[in-house]
Amino acid sequence: MISRADIEAAHARIAPHIRRTPVQSLEGAALGLPYPVTLKLEHLQATGSFKLRGAFNNLLSADLTPETEVVAISGGNHGAAVALAASRLGVRSTVFVPGAIAVEVKLARIRAFGATVEVVEGSVDDAFTAFEARASDPGTVQAHPYDSELTLQGQGTVAREIAEQAPGIDTLMVSVGGGGLIGGVLSWFQDRVKVVAVETTGTSGLAQSLAAGHSVTISPSGISASGLGAATIGALPMQAINRWLGGSVVVSDEDTKAAQRRLWDGARLIGEPGAATALAALTSGAYVPEKDERVGVLICGGNASPDWFL
């Protein structure tokens, strides 16, 4: 399990390479809610998502040479982050994308940041098999999207920023895919802030695992699958989840679209479906705060067509 000291070290390592994204406090009326909400605007990160934190922490911790090839697997956001980090550090990158959840807008982002894209037809597991085969080649460095200590350390730096920028929040809504983001966030906040996991019905691997009492494998589907489409929750994130998670809710695709409409109407902000999923916990009523509970939402990514929710 990673520590707060690990996250501090990661923050020092990656700070020159990432943006310190802002927070925004919205009055409840802007979102059709009876209470204010604080948003962490991580969709304003250089590649449009929090994934750049873990990508840089992985690469800056590796022994890179001009011949190094960085290998990643991603539905989109992690791939774009690895592509940009590799380009800035002067090495090649290849990103394997599961054909089952590939979205063209995200494939274009990965290519634009400099990576070679390998779309693997079939399931997420099929893409993982291809990724692991390439990552075993000499001269490669792999950057796992969610189940490595370096990835969790990097993602945890977003929680470190939130603690400085919005020290008054009691509860934070976080979207969950493979668990790298929420694992890092929990490892920073621990018992200091209540962290609530939010998933859509089609990506609810965590909720199903918690209900079953053991890790389950799903076939991700629905509008959030390209961002939250992991087949299983990572073993390392699950350690933090089992120790500190404050709650878990599941919303529908329609709830997610409705949340994005409210975010656009009330704040003129556009997040991708995976980011709107976290907000949907509040706007759908799946999570109802206690009186005077101060709530935050992590808007984790913005890599989607601007009219996806219309």
Task: Give the model's pLDDT for residue 182.
Answer: 98
Sign of CA dihedral 17, 145, 138, 11: positive
Task: Give the model's pLDDT for residue 229.
Answer: 84
DSSP state letters, 167-235 = TT-SEEEEE-SSSHHHHHHHHHHTTSSEEEEEEEGGG-HHHHHHHHTS-------STTHHHH--SS--H
Contact partners, residue 136, CB within 8 Å, separation at least 6: none
Q: What is the DSSP letter of 42?
A: G
Residue 87 and residue 31 share a domain:
no
DSSP state letters, 61-75 = TS---TT-EEEEE-S
Pick from 255, 278, 83, 286: nearest CA to 181 = 278
Sign of CA dihedral 205, 207, 210, 211: negative
Encode the chain (310 residues) as per-residue pLDDT tens digits: 999 999 999 999 999 999 999 999 999 999 999 999 999 999 999 999 999 999 999 999 999 999 999 999 988 899 999 999 999 999 999 999 988 788 888 899 899 999 999 999 988 888 889 999 998 888 899 999 999 999 999 999 999 999 999 999 999 999 999 999 999 999 999 999 999 999 999 999 999 999 999 999 999 999 998 889 888 999 999 999 999 999 999 999 999 999 999 999 999 999 999 999 999 999 999 999 999 999 999 999 998 888 888 8
Residue 229 and residue 160 share a domain:
yes
Task: Give the model's pLDDT for residue 186.
Answer: 98
> Is 271 inside any structural domain?
yes
Task: Give the model's pLDDT for residue 102.
Answer: 80
> Is 309 inside any structural domain?
no
Contact partners, residue 257, CB within 8 Å, separation at least 6: 223, 273, 276, 309
Pick from 178, 141, 131: nearest CA to 300 = 178
Q: Which residues pair with 280 in a beta bridge?
A: none
Residue 67 and residue 34 share a domain:
no
Task: Give the model's pLDDT for residue 190.
Answer: 97
> Is 310 inside any structural domain?
no
Residue with token string 């054909």:
99
Task: Give the model's pLDDT for residue 309.
Answer: 86
Residue 134 and residue 57 share a domain:
yes
CATH code for position 126:
3.40.50.1100
User: Each residue of 104-114: b (16+ CB within 10 Å) or e?
Assistant: eebbebbeebb
Vertex 174 angle, CA 253 and 308, to 5°: 35
Task: Give the model's pLDDT for residue 226.
Answer: 83
Taken as a whole, the chain contains a residue count of: 310
Residue 105 and residue 10 share a domain:
no
Tell me the residue range of the domain where 131 lies.
52-143
CA distance 26 to 39: 8
CA distance 239 to 234: 9
Residue 60 and residue 139 share a domain:
yes
Whether the Cβ atoms of residue 201 and residue 223 lie closer than 8 Å to each other: no
Using only C-alpha atoms, the chain has a radius of gyration, in whole angstroms, of 18
Task: Give the model's pLDDT for residue 125.
Answer: 85
Residue 285 and residue 158 share a domain:
yes
Task: Give the model's pLDDT for residue 90.
Answer: 95
Report the phi/psi class of residue 243: left, alpha or beta, with left for phi > 0 and alpha for psi in -120 to 50: alpha
> Is 307 inside any structural domain?
no
Whether the Cβ atoms of residue 229 and residue 220 lie closer than 8 Å to each other: yes
Residue 295 and residue 199 share a domain:
yes
Domains of the chain: total:
2
> Is 259 inside any structural domain?
yes
Residue 233 and residue 106 share a domain:
no
Task: Give the model's pLDDT for residue 214.
Answer: 93
Whether the Cβ atoms of residue 57 and residue 9 lie closer than 8 Å to each other: no
Q: Which of these three, 83, 110, 143, is where a domain ends?
A: 143
Residue 22 and residue 139 share a domain:
no
> Is 306 inside any structural domain?
no
Residue 96 and residue 61 share a domain:
yes
